[in-house]
Amino acid sequence: MIGLPFGGEPGASECSRAGCRVDAAWRIEWRNPKIHDESRRKVWVACDEHVGYLREFLAARDFPLEVLPLSAPPSTAALPATAASPAAVDPTASSPTTSSPTEAAS
Ligand SMILES: [Zn+2]
């Protein structure tokens, strides 16, 4: 390692994908249920290009995971028991359409 002017930066935001040096935009929090208890979270960070790759990598192993924007505050909730939430952050997913039934009063 070459001495960098800012060593030991706490929020290192370089993509966790091997060989990628791009600034990360996403944070993937995950755990391995076989070795981590439910309160434990490992954190990877990923650039736009690799967030899907890393998420699939973990989901394929049935690891519970959550994908958050890098700037989001740290989550304190325990991860769910299964990796059944592949799209924790999907801008197209939530469009609450509250339809109120129209009642025809006589
Ligand atoms: Zn990357």
Over residues 35-54, the pLDDT tens digits come to 988 889 999 999 999 999 99
The alpha carbon of 31 and the centre of ligand 1 are apart by a number of angstroms equal to 20
Within a domain: 48 = yes
Query: Residue 98: inside a domain, yes or no?
Result: no
Residues 6+ apart with CB under 8 A from 66: 28, 29, 30, 75, 79, 85, 88
Between the CA of 52 and the centroid of ligand 1 the distance, in Å, is 10
| Residue environment code for 1-36, b if the CB has 16+ CB neighbours within 10 A, otherwise e | eeeeeeeeeeeebebbbeebeeebbbbbbbbebeee
Q: What is the average per-residue pLDDT within 14-26? A: 94
User: Residue 61 falls within a domain, yes or no?
Assistant: yes
Indicate if the pLDDT at residue 10 is higher than 80: no
Q: Look at residue 18 and tell me if it is in a domain.
A: yes
Given a cut of 60, is residue 96 above it in pLDDT? no
Domain count, the chain: 1
Alpha-carbon gap, residue 106 to 101, rounded angstroms: 15
Average pLDDT of the chain?
76
35 Cα–ligand 1 center, Å: 26
What average pLDDT does range 78-102 have in this prediction? 53
29 assigned to some structural domain: yes
Between the CA of 27 and the centroid of ligand 1 the distance, in Å, is: 12
Expressed as residue numbers, the domain containing 28 is: 11-84
Specify if 1 maps to a domain. Answer: no
21-31 tens-digit pLDDT? 999 999 999 99
**Is residue 102 assigned to a domain?**
no
Distance CA 18, CA 56 (A): 15
Residues having C-beta closer than 5 Å to ion ligand 1? 15, 17, 20, 22, 47, 50
Give a yes or no: residue 69 inside a domain. yes
